[in-house]
Amino acid sequence: MDLARNLIIILITCVLTENLVLSQFLGVCPFLGVSKKTSSSLGMGLMITFVMVCATMLTYPIYNFILMPLNIEFMNTISFILIIALFVQLTEMILKKHLPPLYKSLGIYLPLMVTNCAILAVTILNVSGDFNFGEALFNAFCSGIGFLLVMLIFSGVRARMERCDVPVSLRGMPITLIAAGIVSISFLGFGGIVEGIFGG
Amino acid sequence: MIVIQYVIPVLVFLLVGGAAGFALTFAAKTFEVESDETVNLILANLPGINCGACGQASCEAYAEAVKNGDCAPNLCKPGGIETAMGIGAILGIDVKPGERETAFVHCGGVTTEHKFSYVGTLSCVAASRYYNGKGNCKSGCLGFGDCKRVCAYGAISFVNGAAVIERKRCWACGMCIPVCPNNLISLRKHSERVKVMCRSSDSGKETRAICSNGCIACGICVKKCLKDAIRIENNCAVIDYEICNSCGVCAKTCPTKCISVDGYKRAEANLREVDATGDEEILPV
């Protein structure tokens, strides 16, 4: 019961209330860059979810069984980036082999995932002490799902905007940023859900 | 002790990095994508500007199509002769190179009186819907620059209100041809030096009244042509390039000077004048 409760809290927190993109403003680069088409935003979301889970699978043990005993926790950023880079390269290879159209549509944003702050933030958050291994994995998965959800919502918003008569001075990136801000504000409405359901 | 403080982080870093490196090395072997050597060679030989003039989506797609025999090897217009020969050498076949082409605007463009003030959308297509544009000539260049907007190479500018294509910047991709509502642009081979710089279908009298260098369908060129390569169609001279040998007699005898040899040179000379005085603004009058 306790486990289920924890997992549900993690799910709601990651996907809705503390969404990586809209509440913590992490991973905005791919969020703006590849959200033009639903197919590529879906691909990017899945990719990020995959890398987050895989990276957590390695970074959690590395932090707890190597860095902590040796008292060199300050090494976490640099060693986590190595692990993330490993999985980004791996997904790149897999994509190139099995899904070349998606590989082409993601373009530069695929290798840029190495320095994606959202992934690094999730891996660092996971070892910050609140989670056990299972919860950390679930947290990474849910964060990815949250990212995926926002990407899909925003690609819908942008598809609608294609057909709008936007003032000339706002065309392109400015109106996209304004729309991102409005979507972000709408996610504020989820605030307090966890407290409301589970009583603080 | 201090040494260990430094050594351990470095060792950990090396260990993690090395492990990741090894993992990637094995992954690279497992997920290796075999890329075709021939396609790569052809691709290296192409200009790589993805203009689409060959009918394929990109240079890469064209390279593959050529390799598989789905496409002729001389379709690359920007690359021209050298590229076609290069591809021929790679594939070991004889290639008849296509001749280098450039887009040409068939309008000399002289500022005529305007029928009315146009204040609508600044686009040729929109302007042509209102009584064939604001100019008196209904088949001339409208001057709102639809062709300039689609040109990816900045080869089109405006002189005397008419589009002029700079030959050294034009890659003959043909993007500008379908966007001209008056159908004024065509691709011409470099050997086809004589061009009629008018597509007016008005009668000679009407053309004479509104434009100083339009074709008035007088027929002098038809009579003077040594090869019988010119005919009058819809009140405008048309050159049959299958027969024309670019002797230029027609250009010399044309009373309105709307036939020209190396029309692009005349146009480009005007272009340089405009450059010197600053680019002409296109404004709705």
pLDDT for res B279: 45
Q: Which residues of A touch B31 (CB under 8 A)?
A: 93-94, 96-97
Q: Which of A150-154, B93-97, B165-169, B193-197 has the lowest mean pLDDT?
A: B93-97
Check if the beta carbon of residue B175 is closer than 8 Å to that of residue B152.
yes
Q: How confident is the model at residue B175 (pLDDT cuts 50, 70, 90)?
A: confident
pLDDT for res B269: 66
> Exposure of B242 by Cβ count < 10 A (0-12 exposed, 13-18 middle, 19+ buried)?
exposed
What chain A residue is nearest to B35 in terms of C-alpha separation?
A97
pLDDT for res B281: 43
Q: In angstroms, rounded to a whole number, what is the distance separating the alpha carbons of residues B157 and B164?
A: 5
Looking at chain B, the whole-number percentage of residues with pLDDT higher than 90 is 2
- Mean pLDDT score, B265-274: 63
pLDDT at A144 over 70: yes
Q: How confident is the model at residue A116 (pLDDT cuts 50, 70, 90)?
A: confident
Question: In angstroms, how far apart are the furthest CA atoms of chain A?
Answer: 60
Considering CB atoms only, which of A79, A83, A97 is closest to B12?
A: A79
Locate A190 and state its tokens. 């989820």
Contact A79 B31 (CB under 8 A): no
Contact B24 A82 (CB under 8 A): no
Q: How confident is the model at residue B97 (pLDDT cuts 50, 70, 90)?
A: low
Q: In angstroms, rounded to a whole number, what is the distance separating the alpha carbons of residues B164 and B284?
A: 19
Q: A51, A67, A82, A102: which to substitute to probe chain B, counting the most B Cβ within 10 Å?
A: A82
For residue A38, give how far its alpha carbon lies from the nearest alpha carbon of chain B (Å): 22
Residue ranges of alpha helices (H) inside A18-132 are 28-33, 38-61, 76-98, 100-106, 109-112, 117-126
In this complex, is the C-beta atom of A86 within 8 Å of any C-beta atom belonging to chain B?
Answer: yes
- Mean pLDDT score, B62-72: 82
Q: Summarize pLDDT for A54-109 with one digit per residue, the tens.
A: 999 999 999 998 888 888 888 888 889 989 999 988 888 888 888 877 887 777 77
> Exposure of B18 by Cβ count < 10 A (0-12 exposed, 13-18 middle, 19+ buried)?
exposed
Q: A54, A65, A90: which to substitute to probe chain B, counting the most B Cβ within 10 Å?
A: A90
pLDDT for res B267: 63
Locate A146 and state its tokens. 């949250």
Higher pLDDT, B5 or A83: A83
- Mean pLDDT score, B80-86: 79
Q: Which of A 130-169 lie inside 8 A of B, CB atoms?
A: none
Q: Summarize pLDDT for A146-197 with one digit per residue, the tens.
A: 999 999 999 999 998 888 888 888 888 899 999 999 999 999 888 888 888 8
The continuous run of DSSP H or E covering B26 comes out as: helix B2-30
Q: In angstroms, rounded to a whole number, what is the distance separating the alpha carbons of residues A133 and B163?
A: 68
**Cβ pairs bridging A and B (under 8 Å):** 41
pLDDT at B111 over 60: no
Cα B156 from chain centre: 9
Q: Whole-model pTM?
A: 0.56
Token pair 């500018």 is found at B157
For residue B220, give how far its alpha carbon lies from the nearest alpha carbon of chain A (Å): 51
Contact B13 A86 (CB under 8 A): no
Check if the beta carbon of residue B79 is closer than 8 Å to that of residue B47.
yes
pLDDT at B273 over 70: no
Contact B8 A83 (CB under 8 A): no
ipTM above 0.85? no
For residue B133, give how far its alpha carbon lies from the nearest alpha carbon of chain A (Å): 25
pLDDT for res A147: 93
In this complex, is the C-beta atom of A82 within 8 Å of any C-beta atom belonging to chain B?
Answer: yes
Contact A93 B31 (CB under 8 A): yes
In this complex, is the C-beta atom of A85 within 8 Å of any C-beta atom belonging to chain B?
Answer: yes
Phi/psi at A121 (5° precision): -60, -45
